[in-house]
Chains A and B, each alone.
Chain A
Amino acid sequence: MFKKSIANSLFLWFGLILIAILLPFFLPPYFIHVLVMILFYAYLGTSWNILGGYAGQFSFGHAAFFGIGAYASTLAFVNWGISPWLGMIFGGLLGMLLGLLIGSLCFHYGLRGPYFALATLAFSELLRLISLNLDLTGKAMGILIPLKGNAPFSFQHESKIFYYFVILLMFIGVLWITRCIDKGKFGDYFTAIREDEDSAEAIGVDTFAYKLLAILISGFLTALGGTFYAQYFLYIDPAITFGVGNSIEIFLRPIVGGMGTVYGPLIGASVLGPLGEVTRGLLGGYQGVHLMIYGAILVSVIIFLPNGIYGWLRSLKKKHRD
């Protein structure tokens, strides 16, 4: 029976991967775009989740990492012709450095909970203001990335299918990282820190070091997402990248789907993505109109499904068993 369940889950995974690979070839570009956006926010949410969901340090300022990655790779490409693939890694490293700065300051002074959240917000806002006023970053006009047509080595393509596979791989990557964390030593440590820092310290967990590790990993991965965004939309500006709205969109998926779980952000992205598209289609008008629905969903989830959709499904499964 044991072997059967392994065989079953392998079969399931194989099937899913096959579908994921074949799907975009049968869909019109708009739907591929929707899939890309779902995977994109699932990626960002999963990256955020490592710090916010697992380590329990809720960040309101992940746009800071996002923006640094986006601007780093974009500036490297536009000013010095460096391939955005390399720029992406460079941006990731910058994101990690930023995480080091924010983390060591905040954690050394023991900022927790809402205070930490507000501090991260302040940092992302500072970066937004700086990029708004620097000539280097194009100020409010932002930066347009020159069209290169079908140039996969320059991280560009005319077909959305290219971007779909890139983000799919990126997402599978962070998913795998999260799964390793979830089951292993880091999962134990992060969860301990999240639930009771004092008890964690008392049993030998270096809470400062591990919180820092979480923000380093999360910052690095989120910055990579910033580069992807830049290369997909070919335009960035301070508001889009460093704005509070971006931070909110990032943590909204894990909250709705389930914080501190492997698949929570994906579930959240799968729900919010299509919902946002449908809302925009029905109500038309402004770019932010879907946020109205997101706000209502956030309120509903907090009241009725405090453990997110994944948590709710798990509790249903438990009730079903009893």
Chain B
Amino acid sequence: MRSLKIENLSKSFGGLTAVNHVTFQVEQGEIMGLIGPNGSGKTTLFNLISGFLAPDKGNIYLGEKSLVGLRPHQICKRGIGRTFQIAKPFSHLSVMRNVRTAVFNWERTISGANRESEGLLEFVGLWSKRNESASSLTFMERKRLELARSLGTHPKFLLLDEVMAGLTPVEQQKMIELVKKIREGGITLIVIEHTMQIIMTLSDRIVVLCFGEIIAEGPPQAVAQDPNVIKSYLGEKYRFA
């Protein structure tokens, strides 16, 4: 069982420190929630892990191997996938070919790739739209496509960046089901979210970031009652039963 280890990670932009000596570990099979106020460094952390940014200090280990210095596509091939806050499908490709692009990492033949893509689309509930242009999808459908695409790369760890943002409560419920299905498939998840309710129900463990530093870490109940967290993020009046 390989774990994802973030060790003493730091990143600054000009004078602004976005991520400050962050250390944590994600074990295979769990759902880890990552929360914090806007600008606390969550997406920067994702960018660092997935290789879109290079850290100033610290290291990232998948098992024994360091990921620092690798390009994003290499990190993806090692088994770490990610989604983006704003889901952007490849609009000139059909829904199926969008997924197929990812699947080609593992499939050699076109027919094999087509088959696997269709399977993934069925998994996320987009099979009926497989031949439509990706630009014709609704907002929720784009998020499903984004998930199917990331799943096509056979990730062991999946970084979900605010996958619930902008969805109606009904859609959010469906998305939660989908995320749980993904975990059941054996994929470890790190989830950034803003809606406390969702994070509490989904996560096995939560890490709280504030101004680029971890201010709390642990099971949802413990984190929700942590005085530091309440002060910096949830607010004094927040009550969670």
Contact = CB atoms under 8 A, between A and B. Distances in A.
Whether A and B touch (Cβ < 8 Å) is answered with: yes
Interface of A: 184-185, 187-189, 191-192, 194-196, 198-208, 260
B104 A185 contact: yes
A203 B153 contact: yes
A205 B101 contact: yes
Interface of B: 50-52, 71-74, 76-77, 81-84, 88, 90-93, 97, 100-102, 104-105, 110, 113, 149-150, 152-153
B101 A189 contact: yes
B140 to A, nearest CB: 18
A208 B70 CA distance: 13
A317 to B, nearest CB: 14
Contacts of A196: 88, 90
A208 B74 CA distance: 12
B52 A198 contact: yes
Interface of A is mostly: helix
Given A188-B104, A198-B72, 10 more contacts: A188-B97, A191-B90, A195-B90, A196-B90, A200-B101, A201-B51, A201-B71, A204-B76, A204-B105, A204-B153
B52 A192 contact: no
B90 A204 contact: no
B76 A191 contact: no
A198 B110 contact: no
A93 B110 CA distance: 30
B92 to A, nearest CB: 5
A192 B83 CA distance: 15
B87 to A, nearest CB: 9
B117 to A, nearest CB: 10
A258 to B, nearest CB: 12
Contacts, number: 75
Contacts of A194: 92
A199 B152 CA distance: 13
A205 B91 contact: no
27 contacts: A185-B104, A188-B93, A188-B97, A189-B101, A191-B92, A191-B97, A191-B101, A192-B101, A194-B92, A195-B92, A198-B72, A199-B84, A201-B51, A202-B50, A202-B73, A202-B76, A202-B82, A202-B83, A203-B102, A203-B105, A203-B150, A203-B153, A204-B73, A204-B76, A204-B105, A206-B73, A260-B92
Given A202-B81, A207-B73, A189 B104 contact: yes
Contacts of A260: 92
B88 A188 contact: no
B77 A204 contact: yes
Contact of B73 (A184, A191, A201): A201
Given A184-B110, A185-B110, A192-B101, A201 B90 contact: no
Nearest to B97: A188
A207 B51 CA distance: 14
Q: What are the 4 tightest A-B residue pairs by CB atom distance, in nearest-first order?
A: A201-B72, A203-B102, A204-B76, A188-B101
Contacts of B77: 204
Contact of A199 (B71, B74, B90): B90
Nearest to B88: A196
Contact of B90 (A184, A192, A206, A207): A192
A199 B88 contact: yes
A322 to B, nearest CB: 12
Contacts of B50: 202
A180 to B, nearest CB: 11
Contacts of A192: 90, 93, 101
Given A184-B110, A189-B101, A203 B91 contact: no
Nearest to A195: B90
Most chain-A Cβ atoms within 10 A of its Cβ — which of B52, B72, B83, B153? B72
Contacts of B73: 200-202, 204-207
Contacts of A188: 93, 97, 100-101, 104
Nearest to A198: B52
A195 to B, nearest CB: 5
A206 B70 CA distance: 12
Contacts of A191: 90, 92-93, 97, 101
A194 B92 CA distance: 10
Contact of B152 (A195, A201, A203): A203
A199 B113 CA distance: 19
